[in-house]
Chains A and B, each alone.
Chain A
Amino acid sequence: MSSTTLGAERVTKRFGAREALREVSFQATSGERLAIIGPNGAGKTTLLSILSGVQEPSAGRVTHPPEIIGWVPQQAAVYGKLSVAENLRLFARLERCSDVEGTVDRMLSLTGLHERADDEVGKLSGGNKQRVNIAVGLLGDPDVLLLDEPSTALDPRQRELLWEFISSLAEGGTTVFFSTHNVGEAERYADRVLVLADGELLYDGPPRELIGAERDFEAAFVRFLHERGH
């Protein structure tokens, strides 16, 4: 039986008078793939950053946080002046990995970046930067991996590889949260979708149930938002 790995309990986040998240609650289980979707400004990135520990909620709490959460922000959070291997080595040391060189080697293999190991990250393509970004997020062998719009900078082939990789992680027991604007990806690669709009959690369930009578997930998603006044 799958165990609960991470959840939110009435999580609220305010920026001044603006409420970015309003009493959001859910639970995730190990090996589950959760997509967070919603229009721009819905609070997707805010929710992920609170789950990752980058931001503190204004009210409510994050439940069952595991010891290690992998965090892959939307913009590559790596140093452009360092090489791929140097970035991985630095973050492996900061993550206190027991075998730094072994971990770096494994991540280079996992992301297919062995040949670019000595290249400065600042000189890599957007797709390769994102691979380094994901590799850094995976350094500590996290129980939960949070990805903020991971496929944005990737071409179709790279995107395919990314989702294959993410699926394999989930099969290995890693809980994966990802936000995306591509609702088709959410339908294809998520076990559950969380629909956020104006900071409110409108839907939490399997993608098929959101489709209902509609044939197209994207059309169903738009109809769903319309029905709820968004």
Chain B
Amino acid sequence: MRWLFLKDLQILRRSPLLLVVLVVYSLALGVAVGLSRGSGPTKPRVAVVNQIPQAERKFDLGGETIDINTYARQLFDAIDPVPAKSPADALAKVRDGDAIGALVVPADFVSKLRGFANFTSNERPSVTFYYEGDNPLKSRYVRSAVTSRVADLNRALSEKLAAQASKYLDYVLHGGDVPLLGQVLGLEKAEQILRQVQDRLPGKDAQRGPLGQVADFAHVAAVNLALAKPLLGTIGRPVQADERILNASAGSDDAYTFAIALSIPLMFVCVLLGAGLLALEREENAFGRLVRGLVSRTGIIAEKTAIAATLGTVAAGLTLAVLVATGSDVAAKDLLAGLVVVVVGGLAFGALGVALGAAAREVRAASLLAVLVLLPIAVIGLIPVGLASPHLYDAIRIVSGFFPFRAVLNGIDEALRGQGMAERLLHLAGLLAGYGVLARLALRRFG
């Protein structure tokens, strides 16, 4: 088997163009898929709990009516809302995979906003947004959707709050008929009255000095408050958005990006080489010669799987080296753990390729079959929780379970975050054995 392995390396070394095209194509595809995943083309499913009592969803602020439902509708344009009865229900939907995140608007939202607007409380209203912490890319789009809608709400509220505060300042400065309080004098009129009283007092009256001081204060206060008015426009964020990460783990933000960048080249190199190298044995008519006691059929499967995994690991290792060289916060020990997943995943991908090569029997047919199988595997493997309906997602998860891509992707991600990846490795080992058996069965009609 060793000699067969070296022979395949020798053949590949004499086909440098093929190797370069294979690796460059796989890497380019990995980067392209990674970027497209980051942009989030479809509406993510978000569990929404609106605890504001129905009667309070429209309220008056500074003489203007605020309708919370208007802002909710804007948010729902960007997400696919999944109604939830309570925060616990919303979190359960996230954990069950029905939604990618949860948004909770508490019952005291309006009362806190009113208190803040009326300057009777410093406590700002808040909404809480929970999202899955298993990978940053998966949550990026939905975080962006929620935070931008909260920013819209803040923008609208801050204008109204500034107008409200401005009115109060006008009352303080100029006086007027204040709702609930009645007539208010105002600093300017207070100064005028004080000056008039001061002028009427005898020149040596002891009250003239203190009255002058009070009048000066009223003057300075009026001037400064007038200057403060434009500053009210800077009340930027009356509503807070609290972000909470579910399944939060210490680890790198680069993990998922790395996982995608490694998984796709690993998959393409291993599967295409496994399929092509096995089919080549038949095209060169050497298979019949080999299985006449020189190498067993199982030995050939093992050799092709091993060489595909070796070269796939080298390709993934090079990718990793480039990624790390360009800057990363992944710990060295986590990189090693990630490489373990790459090696086991490479073997599973290689075995898949060998099974495809055994089924297709010709190099061109095997390559075409491999590409036809790999693209859907990659696409469905990258669909995150919440971007599809729960039933469709369950179906995707089951189908993905029969292929190594998702297990490798999540395994590398977990490894780079310093989490255990034993479950993924076991999954991949099971797939390796399964594909090995399928390849062995297909080889019965191979020669």
Q: Is A75 within 8 A of B15, CB to CB?
A: no
Question: Please, which residues of chain B bring their CB within 8 A of the CB of A82?
Answer: 7, 10-11
Closest residue of chain A to B288, judged by CB?
A54
Check A104 for interface membership: any CB of B closer than 8 A: no
A78 to B288, CA, bound (A): 11
Most buried by A among B289, B292, B295, B447: B289
Question: Please, which residues of chain B bring their CB within 8 A of the CB of A73?
Answer: 285, 288-289
Please report which residues of chain B, range 7-28, place their CB below 8 angstroms from some CB of chain A when the two chains form the complex.
7, 10-11, 14-15
Q: Is B284 within 8 A of A93, CB to CB?
A: no
Q: Is A81 within 8 A of B3, CB to CB?
A: no
Question: Please, which residues of chain A bring their CB within 8 A of the CB of B15?
Answer: 81
A106 to B61, CA, bound (A): 101
* Partner of B289 from A77, A86, A120 at Cβ < 8 Å: A77
Check B225 for interface membership: any CB of A closer than 8 A: no
| A94 shortest CB reach to chain B, Å | 4
A104 to B289, CA, bound (A): 18
* Partner of B292 from A52, A78, A80, A120 at Cβ < 8 Å: A52
A52 to B7, CA, bound (A): 24
Q: Is B292 within 8 A of A69, CB to CB?
A: yes
Closest residue of chain A to B445, judged by CB?
A15
A117 to B4, CA, bound (A): 20
Please report which residues of chain B, range 25-77, place their CB below 8 angstroms from some CB of chain A when the two chains form the complex.
none
Binary B-proximity of A98-124 (CB < 8 A = 1, otherwise 0)? 000000000000000000000010000
15 A-B contact pairs sorted by A residue (CB < 8 Å): A52-B288, A53-B292, A54-B291, A54-B292, A73-B289, A75-B285, A76-B285, A77-B286, A77-B288, A79-B7, A79-B11, A79-B286, A82-B7, A82-B11, A94-B294
A52 to B288, CA, bound (A): 9
Check A91 for interface membership: any CB of B closer than 8 A: yes
A78 to B285, CA, bound (A): 7
Question: Please, which residues of chain A bring their CB within 8 A of the CB of B11?
Answer: 79, 81-82
A53 to B11, CA, bound (A): 27
Please report which residues of chain A, range 179-194, place their CB below 8 angstroms from some CB of chain B when the two chains form the complex.
none
Q: Is A53 within 8 A of B293, CB to CB?
A: yes
| Chain B contact residue count (CB 8 A cutoff) | 19
Question: Please, which residues of chain B bring their CB within 8 A of the CB of A75?
Answer: 285
| A67 shortest CB reach to chain B, Å | 9
A68 to B15, CA, bound (A): 34
A78 to B284, CA, bound (A): 6
Check A136 for interface membership: any CB of B closer than 8 A: yes
Q: Is B7 within 8 A of A90, CB to CB?
A: yes
Q: Is B286 within 8 A of A86, CB to CB?
A: no
Binary A-proximity of B285-305 (CB < 8 A = 1, otherwise 0)? 110111111110000000000
Question: Please, which residues of chain A bring their CB within 8 A of the CB of B293?
Answer: 53
Q: Is A71 within 8 A of B289, CB to CB?
A: yes
Question: Please, which residues of chain A bring their CB within 8 A of the CB of B10?
Answer: 81-82, 86
A80 to B294, CA, bound (A): 19
Q: A90-B4, A90-B7 provided; 14 other pairs, C-beta below 8 A?
A: A52-B292, A73-B285, A73-B288, A75-B285, A77-B288, A78-B285, A79-B7, A79-B286, A81-B10, A81-B11, A82-B10, A91-B289, A94-B4, A94-B290
Given A94-B4, A94-B294; A55-B447 close (CB under 8 Å): yes
Q: Is B3 within 8 A of A80, CB to CB?
A: no
Given A54-B447, A75-B285, A90-B3; A81-B14 close (CB under 8 Å): yes
Closest residue of chain B to A67, judged by CB?
B293
Q: Is A79 within 8 A of B284, CB to CB?
A: yes
Question: Please, which residues of chain A bring their CB within 8 A of the CB of B290?
Answer: 94
Q: Is B289 within 8 A of A136, CB to CB?
A: yes
Binary A-proximity of B346-380 (CB < 8 A = 1, otherwise 0)? 00000000000000000000000000000000000
A69 to B294, CA, bound (A): 11
Q: Is A95 within 8 A of B7, CB to CB?
A: no
Q: Is B285 within 8 A of A94, CB to CB?
A: no
Binary B-proximity of A30-69 (CB < 8 A = 1, otherwise 0)? 0000000000000000000100111100000000000001
A52 to B287, CA, bound (A): 13
| A7 shortest CB reach to chain B, Å | 18
| B279 shortest CB reach to chain A, Å | 14
| A18 shortest CB reach to chain B, Å | 14
| B341 shortest CB reach to chain A, Å | 33
Please report which residues of chain B, range 262-319, place their CB below 8 angstroms from some CB of chain A when the two chains form the complex.
284-286, 288-295
Closest residue of chain A to B14, judged by CB?
A81
Question: Please, which residues of chain A bring their CB within 8 A of the CB of B292?
Answer: 52-54, 69, 71
Q: Is A78 within 8 A of B447, CB to CB?
A: no
A94 to B295, CA, bound (A): 8
Rank and list the top 8 A-B pairs by shortest CB-CB distance, nearest first. A77-B285, A94-B294, A54-B288, A77-B289, A75-B285, A81-B11, A93-B3, A53-B292
A62 to B357, CA, bound (A): 31
Closest residue of chain B to A76, judged by CB?
B285
Question: Please, which residues of chain A bring their CB within 8 A of the CB of B14?
Answer: 81, 120
| A73 shortest CB reach to chain B, Å | 6
A213 to B73, CA, bound (A): 103
Given A93-B3, A136-B289; A77-B284 close (CB under 8 Å): yes
Q: Is A95 within 8 A of B288, CB to CB?
A: no
Q: Is B289 within 8 A of A80, CB to CB?
A: no
A47 to B92, CA, bound (A): 67
| A120 shortest CB reach to chain B, Å | 8
Given A55-B447, A90-B3, A90-B7; A78-B295 close (CB under 8 Å): no
Q: Is A95 within 8 A of B294, CB to CB?
A: yes
A77 to B7, CA, bound (A): 14
Q: Is B4 within 8 A of A78, CB to CB?
A: no
Most buried by B among A52, A73, A75, A81: A81
| A167 shortest CB reach to chain B, Å | 24
| B1 shortest CB reach to chain A, Å | 9
A136 to B288, CA, bound (A): 13
Question: Please, which residues of chain A bring their CB within 8 A of the CB of B284?
Answer: 77-80
